[in-house]
């Protein structure tokens, strides 16, 4: 039944993804303010290591060239959260590291304490630009006046098939 429906000109998927990524920031914000996790909550955060805006040590990029998962549980420090990203201090093989991770690079957020999980799409485009949309066939409807003396205008919206 959805075969003949046109593609949406409104990027609903992108809007929903952005709203869900804001959930990560809202969860991490109070942790940054207090400096500790509530109760026994802890977070697994998976992200694309080479996504735009990610700033992690080169040794981590070499070890995880595509994607890596960090755990915020017992040993983390300097968690800062803003509208577009978060940064955190973590230790890898006893080497302290600072990671800056934009929400747009996150592919998965999981809190195993309550079995809460979010999955995200990450654009493969290194510029982070959304896919271009083709021109819509109904952007400029053809209006034809009706010659019956009335003020009715017939509009022909072509359907994409």
pLDDT at residue 20, as a whole number? 92
pLDDT at residue 74, as a whole number? 87
Whether the predicted pLDDT of 104 surpasses 60: yes
User: Mean per-residue pLDDT for 10-17?
Assistant: 89
pLDDT at residue 121, as a whole number? 82
Residue 100 makes CB contacts below 8 A (sequence gap 6+) with 53, 54, 55, 56, 85, 86, 87
Burial class of residue 20, CB neighbours in 10 A (0-12, 13-18, 19+): middle
Residue 75 makes CB contacts below 8 A (sequence gap 6+) with 90, 91
Instruction: List beta partners, residue 44.
Output: 71, 110
pTM of the model: 0.71
């Amino acid at each position: 039944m959805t075969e003949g429906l046109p593609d949406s000109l409104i990027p609903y998927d992108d809007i929903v993804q952005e709203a869900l990524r804001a959930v990560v920031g809202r969860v991490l914000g109070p942790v940054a303010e207090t400096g500790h996790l509530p109760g026994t909550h802890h977070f697994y955060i998976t992200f694309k290591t080479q996504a735009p805006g990610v700033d992690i040590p080169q040794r981590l990029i070499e070890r995880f060239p595509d994607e890596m998962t960090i755990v915020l549980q017992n040993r983390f420090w300097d968690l800062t959260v803003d509208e577009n990203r978060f940064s955190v201090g973590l230790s890898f093989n006893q080497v302290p590291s600072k990671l800056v991770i934009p929400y747009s690079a996150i592919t998965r957020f999981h809190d195993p304490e309550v079995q809460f999980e979010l999955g995200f799409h990450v654009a493969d485009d290194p510029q982070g630009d959304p896919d271009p949309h083709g021109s819509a066939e109904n952007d400029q409807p053809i209006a034809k006046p009706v010659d019956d003396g009335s003020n009715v205008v017939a509009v022909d919206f072509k359907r994409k098939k």
